[in-house]
Structure 1
Amino acid sequence: MSVKLLGLCLLLGVLCLSWADDKMCLTSASSCDECIQSGPECAWCTAPNSNIRCQTLKELRRAGCRKRHMYNPQGRLQVVKNDSSTEPSIATAMFIQPQELSLRLRPGVSQPFPLTITMPTDQPITELTMDTSPLPAGLNLTFSSILKGNPMVVQVNVEAARCPSERDDSTQRQNRTGPWSVLITPRGFSLLSVKTEITLECQCDCTKNREKNSPGCSNRGDLVCGQCECQQPYVGQQCQRDSDSFISPNEDFCRSGPNAPVCSGRGKCVEGFCECERRVNPKERYSGRYCECSNFDCPYQNSRICGGRGKCECGECICDDDWTGEDCGCSMETASCMATNQNLCSNKGMCQCGKCICEPPHTGPTCEDCPMCHGTCRQHVDCVECRAFGTGAKKDRCDQECGYLTVTLVETQDDMPQPGESIAFCKMRSSDDCVLYYTFSRTPSGGEAAVVRAKECPRGL
């Protein structure tokens, strides 16, 4: 019975977590401010005529919102004053760094910062105190020691549960975003403190850039954070409809240009607003002010739209993370391009779609091969000599250093493989002043060489 109850609890926990993820952002938010206040992961799309406004960054991107149109404040920490102590380590005065900070805080996101406290040699470890009376409810500061001793390092964590609302007391209604000043003081040292100024990121900066009588709002409203705030009596996404009139305006409101078809030939004009026709396939749809966009007219790869690795938005693939290209068929993964020297494509090419495009004359999966490059023959001659003849500079450590090389002895040069793009022809001098003839090519296990059995040696050798 207990096992069944445990399983039920786990299932309910998973369902609750899944529900919480789905409800993370207030998709019905009517303003940017309302959106970013609904959760620390929520962002606002400022693109005009967007069909989606409030969602996570990932969902906005999948919906076609460009990065430049995503508003997602993360907060920031600025050190305003950080004077250094000029006193020696045995000084009798206490010193603390930094002395002043400015913090912009996104509710729901913890912001840590360290304080370094240098104490007099005869002073025991001190405690920090602070006056939090100016702070609104839900804004908390906590301390944790990360390095004991002298100097001592204390980490301060600042976190706001939410933005103050209109239901809070009158003082907070007058100042809902700050700044608020907090003094952090070592106990017993009232004249020594750290001033921390805290401002909450509860309002969108884009609200300050109001475009009056915007053409994007049919010159009948203001464009704020990408959406229209219409003048009375106009309504609609572009303020294109008169709520007091039941007479359909001219169909020119539904044309993208003077001679363009009404609603791009994909819908009908209703009171100056295009209502796009529905497709037989419910997953396919037209969208846009003039029904000019679709979510199915995109390149296919492997018989799947956008390769199954992205979303089609207005005829363009918006690729998932780690994929790019017109059809999302190009992987941004680079592990397959990493050479044995830990450089992408051996620094001799470019990694494109998970494959190395090598600069001539370099070849191979990671551009490590270069049979025609100067130095290829010299690089392997000592191993060729010790593997083929048991002589040379590496004869005593041949197995350890030259185990990568497979050697085949041939009778004449005519018996060697023909040199080509991946096979180098080598004529090198051996340790006994003779001439070796051999070919070299790379293999998955290392390399292989075809060596002429007889050396060419000077007379008398």
Structure 2
Amino acid sequence: CECVCMPLLCLCVCTSLVSLGLPFTVFLFLQNFSKEGETSSSRCDSLSNLIARKCKRQDIINPQSELSEIVNDPFQIRKDNVIQIKPQKIRLALRRGEYPTFKFKRAEGYPIDLYYLMDLSYSMKDDLEKVKSLGKQLLDALTSVTKSIQIGFGSFVDKTVLPFVNTNKEKMKNPCPTKSQKCQPPFDFKHVLKLTNNADTFNTEVQKQHISGNLDPPEAGLDAMMQAAVCGDIIGWRNVTRLLVYTSDDGFHFAGDGKLGAILNPNDGKCHLNSLGFYEDSHKYDYPSIAELAQKLAENNIQPIFAVTSKIMPIYQELSKMIPKSAVGELKEDSSNVVQLIKDAYNNLSSKVIMKHNNLPDGVRIEYKSKCSDGENVNDKNGTCSNVKIGEEVEFIVTITAEKCLDKTYTFEIRPLGFTDKLEIELRTECNCNCDDSFEMAEHCNKHGSIKCGICSCTNNRIGQFCECDPGQQSTQELVTACHRDNSSASCSNQGDCFCGRCTCHTSPKKKIYGQFCECDNVNCELNLGKLCGGHGTCDCGTCKCNSGFSGSACQCPQSDQRCKNNNGRICSGRGTCECNQCKCNTGYEPPHCKECPACPSPCPKYIHCVECLGFDSGPYKDNCTASCTNIKHNKTGTVKQKPCKEKSSKDCWIIFSMTELDGVSQYEVVIRKEQDCPKPPNIAAIIGGGVSGVLLIGLAILLIWKLITELYDRKEFRRFEQEKTKAKWQDGDNPLFQTATTTVINPLNN
């Protein structure tokens, strides 16, 4: 129980807990109950705890819930009055421990209103012919269920704007594919026949209907359902079971699709039917969303039955999941099975009972436990029972929880979806502790205050649990400020009460609270291995005081360094510190003993001059080798086995050696191979001879290459000459100066 030390406020908080119905909250109004340092909130506790503290039951306020039945008429079946739920009205003063129950009994012959809503787009032409003679069949089929039935008729196509219909003038008059066919102009929704029990009237009105047409496959079915739900007076709905049969062979438009036709206003969920039954504002409002439609159907107690063809069954099955108390059936292509489909769907819907509540006040929630006729118990947000037969009785246990006090009496309803019966509940919360111990200027309050419910309300600027404190010349603000450690802290650190400018710390069996401002306790210290101060010390005002042999902020460290010593007995190999019996190594070195540094660069290049002077008495450090290489111990040997280093000396010789890091910082032992790998001096004669020979060979090679190229070129030219020579052909010619010695003359007259 959260209370402050102002008496009236403490009382209010405790009584508000009573209103919540929490199982531990009762209130004690006995005087002199609170001990010094104990707040008035200790009066709010469980009944068992107060009795354990020797409190008498007559001093304990423990209000109970009150439930009274206002109307509880028995189940009955009459033509003018059918009762399927009892009780019908209760009054509840809520606290805890008692839950109202009510029963539902499915009545036989419950009246039915059935509104037949048909898609009249061109693809439903065959179906319309079948429906024109459907009235008597529908009434006959449902007469076996109830003697009181009414049927009505409405139709839908789509919004009369592009791109949903063809807005050409000729097509607006006759939207059929060919001019020889007769179709009525397109429309969104048309209410044709008000609910009636006359089958002939139904058939007559449906006979007058003609098919229509639109452009896109989805239809305005949701628009039509919304108008059929909210135009109750025009449709003629009675206060009985309401069925809305929806038949179509295609999908449906929903919220947002209207933007395709420049319709931006969201659906307002209101009736817009004109005197002819047409939805006249369809071009002004978008299609409704599925959630909006489901809400209006539930508000108006309408159960939809979707009779659709097989190709679009999956679409409407998903739609049915989002609309409570709805059913889906497969419609044959010519609607020949629609009567049996409606009858089966009605039996399925009426045998399922789903409870729903409305108008719940803020801070109140409801849960249901259903005891169904098959013996099954169901706990869920909505009470549900399936397969409830006619005459069977089911019971619902309702848990109503108030999370805060209500400012007045509220009324809300619980009713089964699809039925008109309801349970009306008047709810108020029990938020007052009715104490009868009020006294003015009571002795208990040092005659400086009145007492109510065992708590003093002080007068004359007196303060304190018993009005014992007189602040004198100090203001209340000064007294309150004296209980704050600093300007940013809470009064008495939220662990005590401020009386007369000093803190009186709260008492608790689980912890000790102390300090001038109640800022200290013995439990808020660091944990180790789930134990306060590691189990090796005590908590004192946020700090662990460790037992002998332990240290650390949570006494987690044994005072020993054995785990930090290496094989030589050196702590952390001289390259770290021992903290909490574990080595904290220098950068790069690894625990447990800081022996190795895998990430450190090799020391071989750094100390090659020391290796050269120690091993071979040469190099830059030759003259002061001992002084320059004090951190290096060396050992000449013939073989280097461990991680050999190979570095070049000042004489360009390769020195092979290994370095082992000793305890401490930059301390090494060096093993050096006795011999250096020095390169042999060059052979000058061979170099000169080789150079001269190379030049001669190169010149000779160049001459040979030149000779080879010219030879190949000459041979190629010679072959070409020979080929041209063989191709030459010489012609015979006459000498123009030559005259032959013989002349022949022919006489033309001589035949």
Same topology, TM > 0.5: no
TM-score when scaled to structure 2? 0.19
TM-score, with length taken from structure 1: 0.28
Structure number, greater radius of gyration: 2
Judging by fraction of residues, say which structure has more strand.
1
